[in-house]
Structure 1
């Protein structure tokens, strides 16, 4: 295995000169630079990335911290982030936090020690003060943290309103909501959007809202209880697509037909929606765009460019599947 000392010996220069060539620091005349680069190529020398990061306090590495890697939404976001970063020669490290503040803090400490250049994070637990103390460039995805921290998301309130409006347009008369955790801003906003559309309806009852906790199994159990207690519910807005799967599972267990007896609409637009039977109607986030915008924003921060827009709120669309009736049915 070649070393920097071996390169210096073959090129008949000092180790310091090789280092200047590798790091593009200090003056090296053109003839010497070409000679060093030629030897590097001949010896197939690969600089020690750990040593270089310690020297430059830079690692060309970005961390992505997500709450649940088993939720397909996050790997789809990660794919877009990785595409952007790899095109700029950055490496992506993926961290799973389980929405646990201690795990998130531990990751931040490790990132600081390893000179990770920046972090993209989905969090509901870290405070702006804690993040500021770490002094690492950061961009939030999906969940707003603080006005000073760039964030890429969608308008969850408006998206939820569109979901309920769509169910109404297909003839649903009593619409329930399976919501996500109360401590997650996006879940709370989707609940508020639902509430804005139904609280003035004569049929609305607070009992029509149940918590599925972004979990298929919990959603299935809560939906069974909901439909057993309120058999006349004919539409359900699930706070994400995974919970929509749980809703459909519960409905089928109770012998209900989708969408004839119950229309179901989700939120996110993950690829899974097209693989279920029936295919799930969903409020689709521009997932790839969210990831790519977050990655580019972080690169701008790292490289000292002016961030003209700190908060990106992207548009959602309705992806119509088979889990809702067509309008007028």
Structure 2
């Protein structure tokens, strides 16, 4: 394997000179720069990335923590983060936490030992103080936690309210909300939007909690429809949960949307592939990911940031799981 000493010998300069050239620190004459560059090319020298990380205390790597790699929403976010990061010369390390606080801690501590340059957190099992204590550039993505960590998310409250009002306007008179876990702020915001919509319109309702996964939502849906057969509308806190709700509705031989209308949240491609196709609140997923990556990179590179907190608008897409008019 070619070493920095081989490059120095080939270019007839000192190892320190080659080091200054590689690290862009200290003076190197134009003539010497050319000699070193030619030596690197001729020898096909590849700098030791681990050694450089130790020297600079940085790695040009960004950690992206997500709670569930099997949920299609998060790979879409990851793609956007990766596209922007690679354009700026950063590599993404994706960590799947499974919503486990201890696993999340282990990942962050391991990444920090590798001199990770910053973290994008699409999960928040820890407290704001925990995250801040790691002393790394941070951005919350599809999450918010306190007012000290920058965040990128959609307008969850207004969007949930709009989705619920669609069910009401299409004739639903008893609406269930399958909400996400209480400790997740986005789920809480969507719950508040639902709650305000049904209370303002004096519509009967019930709220049940579920994990953001298909089978849990299916089980919950079967239970509530059995206990409350008068339910004729469901607002699910994610598209994956809505897909589970759809399975639950069909397992009871009920018709969508004639017996039960259904609205999801996220706008992942799966929502348009379901049969019937899912009415959903579409988040600007790619834009969210790109904004988060740019926001983090600016922090890493100590560049000025105009806005620390982004709340993006969504689009309500009406498809086949809601009626076109009141029943």
Q: Same fold (TM over 0.5)?
A: yes
| d(CA) in 2 for partners of 1:328, 1:203 | 15
Q: Which residue of 2 aligns with 1:183?
A: 183
Structure 1 range deviating more: 35-44 or 294-303: 35-44
Q: How does 1:158-197 map to 2 (within 5 A)?
A: 158-197=158-197
Q: Which residue of 2 aligns with 1:214?
A: 212
Q: Which residue of 2 aligns with 1:63?
A: 63
Q: Is residue 325 from structure 1 mapped to residue 323 from structure 2 by the alignment?
A: yes
Aligned equivalent of 1:289, options 287, 295, 300: 287
Q: Which residue of 2 aligns with 1:156?
A: 156
| d(CA) in 1 for partners of 2:24, 2:49 | 15
Q: TM-score, normalised by structure 2?
A: 0.97
- Describe the superposition over 1:112-153 as per-residue Cα deviations: whole angstroms up to 9, x where unpaired: 211100000123322222222211101001111121110000
| d(CA) in 2 for partners of 1:84, 1:242 | 26
Aligned equivalent of 1:255, options 253, 265, 288: 253
Q: Which residue of 2 aligns with 1:29?
A: 29
Secondary structure, aligned partner of 2:204: coil
Q: How does 1:70-89 map to 2 (within 5 A)?
A: 70-89=70-89
| d(CA) in 1 for partners of 2:166, 2:196 | 14
Q: CA deviation at 1:278?
A: 1.3
| d(CA) in 1 for partners of 2:179, 2:200 | 19
| d(CA) in 2 for partners of 1:246, 1:40 | 56
Structure 1 range deviating more: 23-32 or 102-111: 102-111
| d(CA) in 2 for partners of 1:182, 1:104 | 19
Q: Which residue of 2 aligns with 1:129?
A: 129
| d(CA) in 1 for partners of 2:12, 2:318 | 68
Unaligned runs of at least 5 residues, structure 2: none
Q: Is residue 97 from structure 1 mapped to residue 93 from structure 2 by the alignment?
A: no
Q: CA deviation at 1:86?
A: 0.4
Q: Which residue of 1 aligns with 2:40?
A: 40
| d(CA) in 2 for partners of 1:29, 1:307 | 35
Structure 1 range deviating more: 256-265 or 196-205: 196-205
Q: TM-score, normalised by structure 1?
A: 0.96
Unaligned runs of at least 5 residues, structure 1: none
Q: Which residue of 1 aligns with 2:273?
A: 275
Secondary structure, aligned partner of 1:199: helix
